[in-house]
Structure 1
Amino acid sequence: MSSPESRRFDAPAMQPIRTLAVTGGKGGVGKTNVSVNLAVALAELGKRTLLLDADLGLANVDVLLGLSPQYTLADLVSGRCSLEQVLIEGPAGLLVVPAASGRRHMAELRPAEHVGLVNVFSDLERDLDVMVVDTAAGITDSVLTFCQAAQDAAIVVCDEPASITDAYALIKVLSRERGVNRVQVIANMVRSQNEGRALYDKLSRVCERFIGDVSLNYLGAVPQCDWLRLAVQRQQAVVRAYPASPSARALSEIARRASRWQAPAAPRGNVEFFVERMIRQGAPA
């Protein structure tokens, strides 16, 4: 009879996971709402989805989904539990990794500890298709590391000068300091699809002029919508609470586009979520 170790060695390697970090240059652009609804919509499309709350100091993914976690990332970092114990099930079978709100030490983790958090996910023995990472706002080390570690970074931007300026600043830092050369753009709280496209064009022109080597891709626009505010009050994702609402339809369409992305075939050679799965498949490091 084979030992547990040999059985685990002989087991087929789990597939690589597509990872998307959702971020924003500044707070108040609706980044977490976009993250939560994209993750729920992906789960409803049949994708085995994990949502990581990586806003380490001011986490609220669990609040938006009406969840009551027993453990959070703060417990994981302190050694009180394993990553498997942190996982909590949300709507549509979505798996959630909650963080802790109001823990200043979590917001002040060292760069090596952010990398350590990324590496922890290589040991997660779950068959998943996609992970959505809700980062903090700004250009802190945690934001840069989590965006670098995902295959794609999506920046949520609103049609206001501060949002556009801060989104540009974040794209510039990601490009120059972390080598991120492809960024997805989601226009949020717009009055029309045309306004969303115009907002993307505005940001794209500035990046093309002053950064040059970054490819921006327009992922879609989410309209200003009272149904979204009502869903937040009910602590539900709008794609489930009010699926026919304008914001829910827009977010579901963005999720459908993201669901067609291919999982990575090989590691890129830097800090990366689930990198061990690609190495185990025999992909060149």
Structure 2
Amino acid sequence: MQSPDPHLPHALSSGPEGADAPAGPVRVIAVASGKGGVGKTSVSVNLATALVNAGQRTLLLDTDLGLANVDVMLGLTPTFTLADVFADRCELRDTVIECPNGLMIVPAASGKRHMTELQPSQHVGLVHAFSELDLDLDVMVVDNAAGIADGVLTFCQAAQDVIVVVCDEPASVTDAYALIKVLSRERGVSRVQVLANQVQDHREGKQLFEKLERVSARFLDVTLNYLGAIPRDEWLRRAVQRQEAVVDVFPSAPSSVAFRDIARRSRQWQSPSGARGHVEFFLERLVAPAATRGAAA
């Protein structure tokens, strides 16, 4: 069958197939950063693992489409990745890996330059494809590429919440501001959670947040919330070397305690009550409950 959109493979096209998507909204949290090398993927992996450990049915989506490393961080060898979906070698559901702890992962590909050159319509097509993914989920964590490429902006726009990771480097704060500015002005993102990573203590993390908040409050119409800080931790470095999540392998480590706190805070965020009128992950699951409430009224 040919895809209705010539830019999209059949596996990402909308249609009657998969129309029986399960009811119930899925909270989607996008993790992003302006600068690379701030530990964004480690944050995504450990946040998702902490959510699973707290009883949340969680999917971790790697959207660093050309330099993916979620699978590497967890020692996985995927049979299929998103590159195979776009090449029509498999369906999106065929890429899902279930880890022993229950965390589900959709891996991207590494070293596939053409995956970094997808059209905006293909990014939107990937978002829409999740409406047809038949998985029983509470939350999805999206690990984005660094920077302000179209895919990053689209995947952040399509999430209910955006976490921007910063570390104690001037370039990290400057680039985080640039990302927040573009998300606010071009994609209508009005609320951003800021997470300080690789800091000495909470005081240093709060100071980083305040730097970012001062300049954002002056020039942008966006609300920044301080999500917390992840400390520099030798146990986290060891977990990375072992290709395991620190919250699993060293649960009493300072970074593990911090990640569990971040997961607890994220569970307290207000759940999506319905569609917001633009491209969104799991859109049909947002529309269906809203329609049901309207009919009941």
TM-score tier after normalising by the smaller chain length: over 0.9
2:129 counterpart letter in structure 1:
V
2:11 matched residue in structure 1: none
State the TM-score, normalized to the length of structure 1: 0.94
1:176 matched residue in structure 2: 185
Distance 2:71 2:99 in 1: 9
Deviation at 1:263, TM superposition (A): 2.4
2:205 matched residue in structure 1: 196
Deviation at 1:262, TM superposition (A): 3.2
State the TM-score, normalized to the length of structure 2: 0.90
For structure 2, list consecutive stretches of 5 or more residues without a partner in the other structure.
Answer: 1-17
Distance 1:165 1:66 in 2: 33
2:61 matched residue in structure 1: 52
1:268 matched residue in structure 2: 276
Are residue 255 (structure 1) and residue 263 (structure 2) matched? yes
Which range is displaced more, 258-267 or 201-210? 258-267
1:218 matched residue in structure 2: 226
Deviation at 1:147, TM superposition (A): 0.4
**Superposition pairs for residues 142-181 of structure 1, below 5 Å?**
142-181=151-190
2:132 matched residue in structure 1: 123
Deviation at 1:240, TM superposition (A): 0.5
Deviation at 1:280, TM superposition (A): 2.0
Are residue 136 (structure 1) and residue 145 (structure 2) matched? yes
Deviation at 1:13, TM superposition (A): 4.5
1:4 matched residue in structure 2: none
Q: Secondary structure at the match of 2:56?
A: coil
1:18–1:262 contact (8 Å) kept in structure 2: no
Distance 2:165 2:138 in 1: 23
Q: Tell me the C-alpha RMSD between the 2 structures.
A: 1.4
Distance 1:104 1:13 in 2: 35
1:16–1:274 contact (8 Å) kept in structure 2: yes
1:47–1:130 contact (8 Å) kept in structure 2: yes
Which range is displaced more, 140-149 or 251-260? 251-260
Distance 1:280 1:79 in 2: 29
Q: Secondary structure at the match of 1:280?
A: helix
Residues 240 and 172 of structure 1, relative CA distance in 2, 3 Å threshold: same
Distance 1:13 1:126 in 2: 8
1:88 matched residue in structure 2: 97
1:114 counterpart letter in structure 2:
H
1:78 matched residue in structure 2: 87
Count of matched residue pairs:
275
Distance 2:75 2:21 in 1: 36
For structure 1, list consecutive stretches of 5 or more residues without a partner in the other structure.
Answer: 1-7
Deviation at 1:259, TM superposition (A): 1.7
Which range is displaced more, 275-284 or 194-203? 275-284
2:5 matched residue in structure 1: none
2:272 counterpart letter in structure 1:
P
Question: 1:262-283 deviations in whole A, cap 9, x for unaligned?
Answer: 3211100101000111222244
Deviation at 1:188, TM superposition (A): 0.3
2:285 matched residue in structure 1: 277
Residues 12 and 83 of structure 1, relative CA distance in 2, 3 Å threshold: closer
Distance 1:56 1:243 in 2: 30
Q: Secondary structure at the match of 2:145?
A: strand
1:13–1:280 contact (8 Å) kept in structure 2: no
Distance 1:45 1:69 in 2: 26
1:5 matched residue in structure 2: none
